[in-house]
Amino acid sequence: MKSSTINKKEIDKFSKIAEDWWNPEGKFKPLHQFNPTRISYIKEKTINHFKISNEDKPFKNLSILDIGCGGGLLSEPISRLGGIVTGIDASDKNIKSAKIHAKENNLKINYFCNSPENFNTNEKFDIILNMEIVEHVEDVDFFIKKSSELLKKNGLMFIATLNRTLKSYIFAIVGAEYILRWLPIGTHEWNKFLTPQEIINIGKKNSLSHENIDGMVFNPFSSDWKVSNDCSVNYIIKFKKN
């Protein structure tokens, strides 16, 4: 087993475009479009799981760890919804970008340049977000194991990624990178995509039982995303820590 989840090539790839995180028309435009749908999904599942009555601040008093937080696109809205947010990322440039933007917006988010295996904390979190990150790490088994160790019992972990199917190759790589140029060429490597069953099996080994699996589908005409039962390209799994 490897002792690191960091893939230097992947870190360098995102470090090069770190200054573009908060440009809604820039290289991270697909994530900006994706954000409202994934936030609403996490919010709904959190409210149901923790039996929360305050829908305006559904994450109030909940500790949330955003792993592979990038420039903070998910950390910031979760913080605004009441979460006590910590974001970690293995790219120093991403963390610097996230810190600057949070400060400009008067948000108290703790950002650290770390990966889960070298994040020294005694804290365990209510919710862990592994969103669009597992397809970029060096050792997924080790990554999920170390992430799970940071999660409280009965806590939630969300993993969103891309399925390894012919359709995902056509849509996420040929379509999004080469034809539509939504993403820089080389953003994704198809052989690093994981099937839902592969993720579920790794979760099982690490005290994580999956409770929901849903697809996320993009509508090119309205430029928005919706939750679907089609998991052939993008999907999200909600796990509970046993």
**What are the tens digits of pLDDT across the range 151-167?**
999 999 999 999 999 99
CA pair distance 61, 159, nearest whole angstrom: 22
What's the mean per-residue pLDDT of the chain?
94
Q: Which CATH superfamily is domain 8-163+194-241 in?
A: Vaccinia Virus protein VP39 (3.40.50.150)
Q: What is the pLDDT of residue 184?
A: 75
Q: What is the pLDDT of residue 177?
A: 66
Output the CA–CA distances (angstroms, integers) from residue 55 to 42, 43, 45, 46, 60, in the order listed.
Answer: 12, 9, 12, 10, 10
- The pTM assigned to this predicted structure is 0.94
Could you tell me how many residues make up the chain? 242
CA pair distance 125, 113, nearest whole angstrom: 18
Q: What is the pLDDT of residue 179?
A: 66
206: nearest Cα among 176, 239, 235, 177:
239
Look up residue 79 and give its two tokens: 């913080």
**What are the tens digits of pLDDT across the range 5-57?**
999 999 999 999 999 999 999 988 889 999 999 999 999 999 999 999 999 99
Q: What is the pLDDT of residue 1?
A: 45
The whole-number average pLDDT for the span 120-124 is 95
pLDDT of 198 > 70? The answer is yes
The whole-number average pLDDT for the span 178-206 is 87
pLDDT of 241 > 80? The answer is yes
The whole-number average pLDDT for the span 129-133 is 97
Q: What is the pLDDT of residue 185?
A: 78
- Whether 137 and 5 have beta carbons less than 8 Å apart is answered as yes
Domain spans in the chain, listed from the N-terminal domain onward: 8-163+194-241
Q: Give ∠ CA 236-110-73 in degrees, rounded to 5.
A: 40
Look up residue 95 and give its two tokens: 């963390």
Q: What is the pLDDT of residue 223?
A: 81
Question: What are 85-88's contacts with CB under 8 Å, separation 24+?
Answer: 85/109, 85/110, 86/110, 86/111, 86/112, 86/123, 86/125, 87/111, 87/112, 88/112, 88/113, 88/114, 88/115, 88/116, 88/119
Q: What is the pLDDT of residue 169?
A: 87
What is the pLDDT confidence band of residue 85, given thresholds at 50, 70 and 90? very high
